[in-house]
């Protein structure tokens, strides 16, 4: 997995990030499907260990990486797709103000079944001051 992510990163197709807490690996955030040209968008996925959930690690990571993508990298749109029953991930996009754009039926094949996902997005013009500033205002 690490080798594949490194190759995709070198090709500009992905950006993998390790999430740490006190120098311990506790999760991962990966930007996938980076598309340039007239689209300039990507999708983002993440996970954090249950032992570290609720500490603000994931919202902070999503905000920091999103701000990088929408400014320095020059993307226009970021998409996050979340299973409807994943309350913790739904709180992340709600806290950061991502807009829901719909339900993708049978979106990903997970654990032997096709799973529906709710799809959220943020556009560069939606966050002129960045997502991290939104997160700071909720603390």
* pTM of the complete model: 0.91
Question: 113-123 and 77-82: which strand pairing?
Answer: antiparallel
Supply φ then ψ for residue 78, to 5 degrees. Answer: -125, 135
Q: In this structure, is the dihedral angle defined by the CA atoms of residues 80, 134, 132 and 48, taken in order, positive or negative? A: negative
More confident residue, 34 or 2: 34
- Per-residue pLDDT for 93 more than 70? yes
The CATH code of domain 2-137 reads 3.40.630.30
- Domain segments of the chain as ranges: 2-137
Does residue 83 contact residue 92 with C-beta atoms inside 8 Å? no
Closest CA to 119 of 93, 91, 88: 93
Tens-place pLDDT, residues 37-70: 999 999 999 999 999 999 999 999 999 999 999 9
pLDDT grade for 74, boundaries at 50, 70 and 90: very high
* Average pLDDT score, the chain: 94
């Amino acid at each position: 997995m690490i080798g594949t992510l490194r190759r995709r990163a070198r090709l500009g197709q992905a950006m993998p990030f390790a999430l740490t807490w006190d120098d311990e690996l506790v999760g991962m955030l990966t930007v996938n499907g980076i598309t340039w040209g007239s689209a300039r968008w990507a999708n983002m996925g993440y996970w954090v260990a249950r032992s570290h959930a609720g500490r603000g690690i994931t919202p902070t990571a999503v905000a920091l990486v999103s701000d990088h993508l929408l400014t320095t990298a020059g993307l226009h749109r970021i998409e996050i797709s979340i299973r409807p029953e994943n309350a913790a991930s739904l709180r992340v996009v709600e806290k950061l103000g991502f807009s829901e754009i719909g339900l993708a039926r049978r979106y990903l094949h997970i654990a032997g079944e096709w799973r529906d996902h709710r799809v959220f997005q943020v556009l560069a013009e939606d966050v002129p001051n960045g997502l991290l500033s939104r997160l700071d205002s909720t603390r």
